[in-house]
Structure 1
Amino acid sequence: AKGDDDDDDDDDNKDKAHEEAFVPAPRETEADRTGDVRTIHRQLDQFLFLVVQLKDTGEWGFPRRVHSGGDETMRNVAKAAMEECIGNSLETFLVGNAPLGHFPVCNA
């Protein structure tokens, strides 16, 4: 019916007006301007990776945890390591279902 077409046109006009009025937020934040690297509110156009400093050695690296050797998956170990470091204070995600582990070997 003709009335339905008019409603569709009105919806299209409203959508177009919203699109034209939309102004995206800037990607540069106050943290970017001040050089604050201790916040996730920076480098919005980049992926950020969490690195932590170990209390016992002072070494920097990704959150870590020893695998128990049981049925626990590497993903679950990685997730638990992250939760031990930061709790639930940040929204995080693990990249992939098979995080990798490493074993440092000293040069002989």
Structure 2
Amino acid sequence: MCSSWSPPPLMSLRRALDRRLYLLLFGNSYGAPGGKPVWHFPEKNYESEETLRKCAESALKSVLGDLSHTYFVGNAPMGHMVIQPIDKVPDVPSYKQFFFKSQVIATNKFQIGKCEDFVWVTKDEVLGYFPEQAEFLNTMIIG
């Protein structure tokens, strides 16, 4: 047995081979209190894209740079939630946040950009990052 083994870091796609992983970014996010960096999923405000899926692809592309190793599952969002304004940020109106499912194909590493930090986390770990939305995320995310 190798005594120098240590668990793979949260930045590795190989850290939980038998479980799905979800990409979280640490940085600026729409509606974050005081404009401070927070953990969030890749996101983008809907502008003039033809469809919500095109908007989701654009959001992921802005972080990964290349979508050739990704696959979007379906054309419809897998879920959405309405985000209410926070008392600390009264000028941000309520908005809908849509979630799309995409998968990594044939690669083990991405060059993640446009954020201060990132992690690949399991479903249980996602719930720890977003305790206020844990009930919603637990029902939306399968597995």
- Corresponding residue of 1:40: 13
2:44 touches 2:55 (CA, 8 Å); kept in 1?
yes
Structure 1's consecutive aligned runs of 4 or more residues displaced over 3 angstroms after TM superposition are 100-103
Q: 1:87 aligned to 2:65?
A: yes
The one-letter code sitting in structure 1 at the alignment partner of 2:7 is T
Q: Distance in 2 between matches of 1:72 and 1:96?
A: 15
Unaligned runs of at least 5 residues, structure 1: 1-29
TM-score, normalised to structure 2's length? 0.44
Structure whose CA Rg is larger: 1
State the Cα RMSD in Å. Answer: 2.7
Unaligned runs of at least 5 residues, structure 2: 29-34, 88-143
What number of residue pairs does the alignment pair up? 76
Structure that is richer in helix per residue? 1
The one-letter code sitting in structure 2 at the alignment partner of 1:84 is S
TM-score, normalised to structure 1's length? 0.56
- Corresponding residue of 1:67: 46
Give the fraction of aligned pairs with identical amino acids, expressed as a percent. 26
